[in-house]
Amino acid sequence: MRVATRRLRAGLWIAVAMGAAAALSLEVAIPGLSGSVVAGGRLASAAASSGASQASASRAAAAADRRYAAVLSGIGATRAPSGAGAIAAATAARKAAGQTEVTAARQAGVLLPGQGSSPASAVTVVSLPGTRTAPIVRPLRRLRPADLLVVGPAALPPSAIAAIRKLPGVVAANLLDAARIKVNGGYVATLGVDPSTFREFAAEPTAQSTALWRSVAAGDIAVSYLMGQQEKLRLGGTVQVAGARTEELRVGGFGTAGISGVDAIVSGSVARSLGMPTGNAIVVSAPRARLSSLMRRIKRVLPQAAAVAPLVGQAALSGLPGSAGAIGTTSSDGPGLTAAQTRAFLAAALAQVGKPYVWGGDGPSVFDCSGLVQWSMRQGGIVMPRVAASQAQTGPQVPLSDLVPGDLLFYHTDPTAPAYISHVAIYLGNGLMLQAPEPGENVQIVPAIFTGGFAGAVAVYPRLAAAVAADPAG
């Protein structure tokens, strides 16, 4: 079902993006999809019926082509060579724009190797005041991949915690406090941790910074690299944190944990003073387990209100940590977007070009990268999770040879968490993508980037997207 759907979608969208209206010849109904999509001529014989119905279908296809072409007519794309793949089309688009790949990457907010700070130097920490005794934080003994996150609305039962730790494939599990609390007026996903034990599960550059974890243990708040940079927070300055009571916390460091959507870390004692739930989350390391199977086992021992979600995709095709694409996706999770949903999504996104980027912006007047995707998808009736790392789990990873407009492109842009997916863009076809890049920039159309920090492309499955959006761990 997945392969057939992708081929049919490709027949419509690639032809439209390249302006090849003549390639469209037949409207084919697909079981399980509302409405219909248009297939390319190479599939026409498999679905042909009478001459009259073919003529009617051709007229409908041409009308659909014209309507969708009008949506993309304002992007100013240079037509790529006939039959060019996504990479060749992106190269042609960069050449037409007079850009090098590095220039395009910077404009797209994508960190290429050798560009900007090195991972080790990107974690920055302010020195503790001389009047404060530096707390003891255990040295980093090992790094553990953070594979799954379990989250509940209240403290998890000790029996469930013990059962999870004994499951086959689980090598370690760390108990956490997790909540969304207000930081400087905006809701931020925050973890309360034991710095000595949790650091093993953090992204390597952050995990290695003993100074950052000492700062957290001393009562400071550590914020993600992107939040610190984009919100222009000052190291050593304070932020207002509102939980059960409002406190002023010092910003002790910039370093991303690499946990989906988490932008702030405090110690367990600070979490308790803020009124965060105690022991309501677990980060699980299971590097050799099949995560889809392990997730099912974990769900069986959890309270009904708790949930489990993957943190890093173990992509079957690439095998690379931090790859985009949902784990264990099957045809029952589909189908993908219909033609009508894709048109509505792309039309909404294209209409936002020129609007400003604001960190945390989710429309309709300002956007960040994932806020733009979530808001635009909503206009097509699709429910999406809020952050890029979770949006990367809303469908299967697709090869670039099968890439079509409306697919999502994901990137690693955070030097303090090299495997963490921190940016998303919308593929438009013809080697172009639409995105909200970074503060000071507007929603824009740029040549697509498929190197450096590229984490993969995903075809959204609405049913799966809604499930991820509803999951408190996602």
Domain-embedded: residue 56: yes
Please give the residue that has the higher pLDDT: either 294 or 112.
294
- Please give the order of strands across the beta sheet that includes 454-458: 397-398, 454-458, 408-411, 423-429, 432-435, 444-447
Residues 13 and 25 in one domain: yes
Interatomic CA distance for residues 297 and 163, integer angstroms = 10
Residues 166 and 21 in one domain: no
pLDDT confidence bin for 107, thresholds 50/70/90:
confident
Least confident interval from 44-53, 178-187, 217-226, 395-404 = 44-53
**Structure token pair of residue 369:** 């990268």
CATH number of the domain within which 106 lies: 3.90.1720.10
pLDDT confidence bin for 185, thresholds 50/70/90:
confident
- Position 439 scores a pLDDT of 87
Taking each helix axis as running N to C, give the angle between helix 2-17 and helix 51-72, from 0 to 180 degrees, rounded to the nearest 10: 60
pLDDT confidence bin for 64, thresholds 50/70/90:
very low
> Could you tell me where the beta strands, DSSP code E, fall in 5-109?
24-28, 37-40
Residues 193 and 228 in one domain: yes
pLDDT confidence bin for 49, thresholds 50/70/90:
very low
How far from each other are the two terminal CA atoms of the chain, in whole angstroms? 26
Residues 208 and 245 in one domain: yes
Residues 251 and 335 in one domain: no
Please give the residue that has the higher pLDDT: either 10 or 140.
140
The answer, yes or no, to whether residue 33 has pLDDT greater than 70, is no
Residues 129 and 221 in one domain: yes
- Position 244 scores a pLDDT of 83
For residue range 228-275, list pLDDT tens digits in order. Answer: 988 889 999 999 999 888 999 999 999 988 887 899 999 999 999 999
Residues 288 and 340 in one domain: no
pLDDT confidence bin for 129, thresholds 50/70/90:
low
- Position 323 scores a pLDDT of 76
- Position 53 scores a pLDDT of 52
For residue range 327-345, list pLDDT tens digits in order. Answer: 777 767 778 999 889 999 9
* Cα 271 from chain centre: 26
Domain-embedded: residue 253: yes
For residue range 365-400, list pLDDT tens digits in order. Answer: 999 999 999 999 999 999 999 989 889 989 998 888
Which residue, 276, 310, 344, sits at the end of a domain? 310
pLDDT confidence bin for 468, thresholds 50/70/90:
confident
- Position 102 scores a pLDDT of 86
Of 380, 352, 382, 381, nearest to 367 by C-alpha is 352
Range of the domain at 346: 86-116+318-470
Question: pTM score, two decimals?
Answer: 0.75
Least confident interval from 76-90, 101-115, 347-361, 407-421 = 76-90
Domain-embedded: residue 126: yes
Ramachandran angles phi, psi of 112, nearest 5°: -90, 155
Domain tally, the chain: 3
- Position 473 scores a pLDDT of 56
Task: Report which listed range, 101-110, 276-285, 386-395, is most confident.
Answer: 276-285
The answer, yes or no, to whether residue 39 has pLDDT greater than 70, is no
Residues 261 and 132 in one domain: yes
The fraction of the chain above a pLDDT of 70, given in percent, is: 75
- Position 420 scores a pLDDT of 83
- Position 198 scores a pLDDT of 96
The radius of gyration of the chain's CA atoms, rounded to the nearest angstrom, is: 23
Domain-embedded: residue 242: yes
Domain-embedded: residue 431: yes
- Position 312 scores a pLDDT of 61
H/E stretch holding 105? helix 101-108
The fraction of the chain above a pLDDT of 90, given in percent, is: 45
Domain-embedded: residue 81: no
Domain-embedded: residue 112: yes
Please give the residue that has the higher pLDDT: either 63 or 6.
63
- Position 130 scores a pLDDT of 55
Residues 92 and 192 in one domain: no
| Residue 316 DSSP label | T
Over the chain, what is the mean pLDDT? 78
Residues 251 and 161 in one domain: yes
* 310, 148 Cβ separation under 8 angstroms: yes
- Position 23 scores a pLDDT of 25
Domain-embedded: residue 80: no
Residues 132 and 17 in one domain: no
Residues 99 and 168 in one domain: no
Which residue, 310, 345, 372, sits at the end of a domain? 310
Which residue, 310, 337, 369, sits at the end of a domain? 310
Interatomic CA distance for residues 261 and 422, integer angstroms = 9
What average pLDDT does this structure show over 49-72?
50
